[in-house]
Amino acid sequence: MNPTATHAPAAAPSATQPLHVTLVVGSNRHGRFGPVVADWLLERLRDRDDLVAEVVDVAETELPMSFEPTPEATAALSGITPKLARADAFVILTPEYNHSFPAGLKNLVDWHFAEWRAKPVALVSYGGLSGGLRAVEHLRQVFAELHAVTVRDTVSFHNAGASFDDKGALRDPAGPDAAAKTMLDQLVWWGEALRQARAARPYAD
């Protein structure tokens, strides 16, 4: 073997390769409405050829608040961290609790760092009159600190309970479907651009 030989850099992922996107369902309250919106979101994600989706549900995690590397925390992270690490992009679904997003969602975010860096995040919210938009604005600040990029357009459901029928279908899907397409188009643009950039040059904060 020639000790002076150099190896060519690994090929960057093809722009036509689907992006892996992880949907994070951020509510864990009893009787929560989140799964209804999550099901609708998953349909939008799975309708696209440029995205491959999987889910992390805060309600199904048991991460302690103490940030201690206990066996329980290690076991919980084993089912979460790989889904975040292999994601090229994220969609965060959040309700609004007391003008912000849920503590369980913040805890899941805070248990991770490198998994978020240099990746795009789309934000979907639901709530009462505000539609969860104050939670979205707080999340933008959090993800900026984590070196993630939040896409500009969002989807928000004002008076969300009245927006869906008792079978979980939207009563008037035209507006939300159009908003979701715009948001996901932006997510794909950022996801492809940042995936190529990470492959060409590792991100350093």
Contact 61, 75 (CB under 8 A): no
Does any domain span residue 178?
yes
Does any domain span residue 33?
yes
Domain CATH number, residue 86:
3.40.50.360
- Structurally, the chain folds into a number of domains equal to 1
Q: What is the pLDDT of residue 204?
A: 84
Q: Is 177 exposed, middle or buried (0-12, 13-18, 19+ CB in 10 A)?
A: middle
Does any domain span residue 7?
no
Domain membership of residue 146 as a residue range:
19-200
136-180 pLDDT per residue, tens: 999 999 999 999 999 999 999 999 999 999 999 999 999 999 999
Residues in a beta bridge with 53: 21
How distant, in Å, are the alpha carbons of 20, 88, 119, 190, 196 from that of 17? 9, 11, 16, 14, 11
Q: Looking at residues 113-134, what average pLDDT do you find?
A: 96
The mean predicted confidence, pLDDT, of the chain is 93
Residues in a beta bridge with 89: 21
40-86 pLDDT per residue, tens: 999 999 999 999 999 999 999 999 999 988 999 999 999 999 999 99
Contact 197, 120 (CB under 8 A): no
Q: Which of 125, 122, 127 is CA-nearest to residue 38? A: 125
Does any domain span residue 127?
yes
